[in-house]
Amino acid sequence: MTNLVHTRAELAAALDAAPGEIAVVMTMGALHEGHRRLMRVARERSPFVVVTIFVNPLQFGPNEDYEKYPRTLDEDLAACRAEGADLVFAPGRGDVYPHGQPSITMHPGPLGEILEGASRPGHFSGMLTVVEKLLMLTRAGVAYFGEKDFQQLALIRRMARDLELPVEIVGVPTVREGDGLALSSRNRYLSPDQRRSALALSRALREGATRRDPASVLTVARKILADEPGVRVDYLELTGPDLGPVPAEGPARLLVAARVGTTRLIDNVPLTLEKNA
């Protein structure tokens, strides 16, 4: 049975009955197969799975899509039920921020200033602040996050490490459509034409990742993006596996952000570099 609660008091009462380790999957709702994968991975390990659904105003910039972000609680609840989640916590703004805008917030540090951080000032501070609060409120021993938001995952791992949070952070590989498009709640903003254009992101990453030297990884990926007029690239970057400098060889990450119409999409893939390739 999946219990739905909205307030902190209801959440606390439900958690008091949890039989063992609590796992949390944090979402902003508009749930899709990517979210459902996180729930399934959580379900395999933990006896009590909590899904949070909260569109966090703190992590949206003034010109971003906070107001129009899809809110589909009934369908979301059905998805959580189908995946066997034990508890859904769907708080209102006042349940998460009972004292209004918090005056003490998370500072993401240098890792928060590159890539998404450069394009979305304040986003990661707002994200880390709500993640920390939801970890405390849900008493989670383990928390699952998608690699789709790779920099977010890296920052949450760093926050847990640097602040000694008593929680294990687990990353889950990106779930894609059959044609390669990474699932995202924002995909529903795309018209059929825009969706076709958006495929250039995953195609560029996939083709780039077949190369073994940094220059051709970027050349191949850049060309695919440039050939798609419906896509305006924000960044295409090759980094180390933890978003550090590109290594001479071994695991690396290729990341992209782009606008298709007014919709901003991100994606990334792992790849392996070789010396003298």
**Residues of this chain that bind ligand AMP (CB under 6 A):** 27-28, 34-35, 37-38, 145-146, 148-149, 172, 174-175, 182-185
Least distance (Å) between residue 27 CB and ligand AMP: 4
Catalytic residue of the set 35, 99, 107, 123: 35
Residue with CB nearest ligand AMP? 146
Q: What residue spans of the chain are helical by DSSP H?
A: 8-16, 33-45, 73-82, 93-96, 116-119, 123-138, 150-162, 192-208, 214-226
Q: DSSP string covering 48-113, please?
A: EEEEEE---GGGS-TTSSTTTS---HHHHHHHHHHTT-SEEE---HHHH-TTSS-SS-----GGGT
Measured from the CB atom, the residue of 59 and 197 that comes closer to ligand AMP is 59
Measured from the CB atom, the residue of 254 and 273 that comes closer to ligand AMP is 254
Q: 84: number of CA atoms within 13 Å, CB side?
A: 11
Least distance (Å) between residue 83 CB and ligand AMP: 13
Q: Can 6 be counted among the known catalytic residues?
A: no
Tell me whether residue 44 is annotated as binding: no
Least distance (Å) between residue 195 CB and ligand AMP: 15
Residue 45 · residue 53 · CB < 8 Å: no
Tell me whether residue 199 is annotated as binding: no
Q: Which residues are annotated as a binding site for (R)-pantoate?
A: 59, 152
Q: Binding site membership: which residues?
A: 28-35, 59, 146-149, 152, 175, 183-186
Cite the active site residues: 35
